Amino acid sequence: MKKYLSLIPLLAFCLGLNAQFAVTKMKVLETEHDFGKFKEDAGPQSYDFIVTNAGSDPLVIQNVVASCGCTTPGWTKQPIPSGGTGKITATYDPKDRPGVFNKTLSVYSNTKPEVVVLVIKGEVVPREKTVEELFTFPVGAIRFESNHMAFTNIKKTEKKIRVMQLVNTSNAPVKVEFTGLPAHLALKSNPETLKPGQKGMVEGTYDANKNAGWGNVNDMVKISLNGVPQENVYYYVSANLVEDFSSLSKDQLENAPIFKVASTTVDLGKIKGATQNEIEFKFTNEGKSDLILRHVRASCGCTAVQQGNQGVGIKAGQSSSIKATFNSGSYKGKVTKAIYVYTNDPKNSEVVLMVSADVEQPETTK
């Protein structure tokens, strides 16, 4: 009897051990699906991955995590019995996602391994955009691609051309003209008069040699339709005017001026509101020929730059300074402003100087 009694604990231990190591098996019919090519306006596409419980214990799909918000997962929430089937649904939303895609879904369950990765892929053919989407700037019956024509970098010796589409959305002809043009800018519609539904081009020509400015410059131009100026509507033109160093020889580059600033940052520390604060940036010409400050401008009207050095040749080895006045006005707390300096130094033709301060305003009494 004692012999049989001693076997009972051993038997219980073995049964517990078998229960502990019982494994549920999930079999997926396929782990990858290719939707192929489909149109964006066809809407969300779904596919069901079929899973089978190939083990003896119930299969539980605990969670499914998609690799991006464009894919929405769904799955069988109830335990799947031995031999039973369930599904994992992957829904891909193609809206605003043209092109090839390859996404994953990580399936977490009570199996070994605990994570199974499924893949969906395909290619979304972009939908045809509406007139409103293509031509975002409406002016009466005319729509422009944008209200801004950007010429980006233009050398001061250069003339640059840019174009932009426009369309007549009305059922009558419309003549498009631009008024208030500066000397350095030419704008015209081609054709000048657009027939109903007709597309055309805004043709812009920027002659940087005729603009005395430097760096980032902007112009606001009025639009006239059929001879009628459009009120409170402006067409913006921007450019970044830079020095042309392309013609300099190796010898000229080696003997060029060098704009060396003692410090590119001035911290005024704690200052009072509504006060005028003087700033000075000291610099030296460490090159071998005359240094010229082409232009100096501040990022806001609160900083006034003294133009004493502008256009004046600063000899090799000579030092000078850029002076400015910061008006703290109604600012409060940490304030940072920029001063842009344009020079004939080929390696430092545009330098940004920073002014910072901690402005304290008096306490207001109620």
Element (H, E) at 207: strand 199-207
Contacts of 20 (CB under 8 A, 6+ apart): none
> pLDDT category, 365, cuts 50, 70, 90?
low
Beta bridge partners, 50, equal: 87
What is the rounded average pLDDT of the residues 220-234?
A: 95
**pLDDT surpasses 50 at 175:** yes
**pLDDT surpasses 50 at 18:** no
> pLDDT category, 310, cuts 50, 70, 90?
low
> pLDDT category, 306, cuts 50, 70, 90?
confident
The span from the CA of 182 to the CA of 221, in Å, is 9
**pLDDT surpasses 60 at 63:** yes
**pLDDT surpasses 80 at 40:** yes
3-state secondary structure of 180: coil
**pLDDT surpasses 50 at 102:** yes
Taking a C-beta distance cutoff of 8 angstroms, is the pair 137, 144 a contact? yes
**What does the pLDDT look like over 129-152, one tens digit per residue?**
899 999 999 999 999 999 999 999
For residue 297, how far is the Cα from the chain centroid?
A: 26
Element (H, E) at 131: helix 131-134
* Confidence at residue 312, expressed as pLDDT on a 0 to 100 scale: 77
> pLDDT category, 23, cuts 50, 70, 90?
low
Residue 113: cis peptide before it, omega within 30 degrees of 0: yes
The span from the CA of 190 to the CA of 184, in Å, is 20
The span from the CA of 2 to the CA of 250, in Å, is 105
The span from the CA of 246 to the CA of 249, in Å, is 8
- Mean pLDDT (the chain) is 90
Q: Sketch out the chain's domains with CATH numbers.
A: 22-125 (2.60.40.10), 131-242 (2.60.40.10), 250-360 (2.60.40.10)
> pLDDT category, 21, cuts 50, 70, 90?
very low
What is the rounded average pLDDT of the residues 275-294?
A: 94
The span from the CA of 197 to the CA of 15, in Å, is 82
Taking a C-beta distance cutoff of 8 angstroms, is the pair 26, 60 a contact? no
Residue identified by tokens 């840019």 is 162
**pLDDT surpasses 60 at 17:** no
**pLDDT surpasses 60 at 287:** yes
The span from the CA of 12 to the CA of 25, in Å, is 25
